[in-house]
Amino acid sequence: MNAQEFAEIAEKHSGFVYNVAYRMMGNYHDAEEVAQDAFVSAFKARDRFRGDALPTTWLYRITVNAALMRIRKDKRGREMTVSEEFRPDVASSNWAESPVAATMNSELGSRIDDAIGKLPEDSRIAVILRDVQGLSNQEAADALDVSVSALKARLHRGRLALRDSLAPYIAERASSG
């Protein structure tokens, strides 16, 4: 792909790349840097893009790799989190919902976010790509450069760990409700 074709793809998918970076990094500053790193890497690798995959799959993979590199270099050991956009909160909840229910949903969203952040890296990324981002198994596997069966195994381990992590909270809420 030539520089003009790359520029068109980059312009068309810049929001997409930033969104992926933000959801993996959990803050705007790091997301901007990851997105920039991803586009620099993609530009350098543009000649290797054969068109076998969609540009979004290719960019997803590069962005995920850029985010992982940044996370690994982060000496403070900051954990990836799911974006606050995915947390149910009082402002975005159903108006018919009671304040108590809205608060419980906000707390549940926070618990889910925390639980995802504590997953091992491979499971966490699989859960984010598949369950948070909504990619298909094939798209998520392509983004991670693993087989679909490997993705499913990571996803299964992540979902089991989430279930185990959230079970006490859910049980407590069920018994108090």
Q: Give the span between the Cα atoms of 3 and 61, in whole angstroms.
A: 20
| Band (104; pLDDT cuts 50, 70, 90) | low
Beta strands in the chain (DSSP E): none
- At position 76, the amino acid (one-letter code) is R
Average pLDDT in the 113-118 region? 83
Q: Give the span between the Cα atoms of 155 and 138, in whole angstroms.
A: 13
Q: Give the span between the Cα atoms of 151 and 84, in whole angstroms.
A: 25
DSSP 86: G
**Residue-level pLDDT at 152:** 95
| Structural domains present in the chain | 3-73 (1.10.1740.10), 91-176 (1.10.10.10)
Alpha carbon of residue 8 to chain centroid = 24
Picking from 26-35, 67-76, 95-104, 127-136, which range would have the lowest pLDDT averaged per residue? 95-104
Q: What is the C-alpha radius of gyration for the chain, rounded to an integer number of angstroms?
A: 18
pLDDT surpassing 80 at residue 88:
no
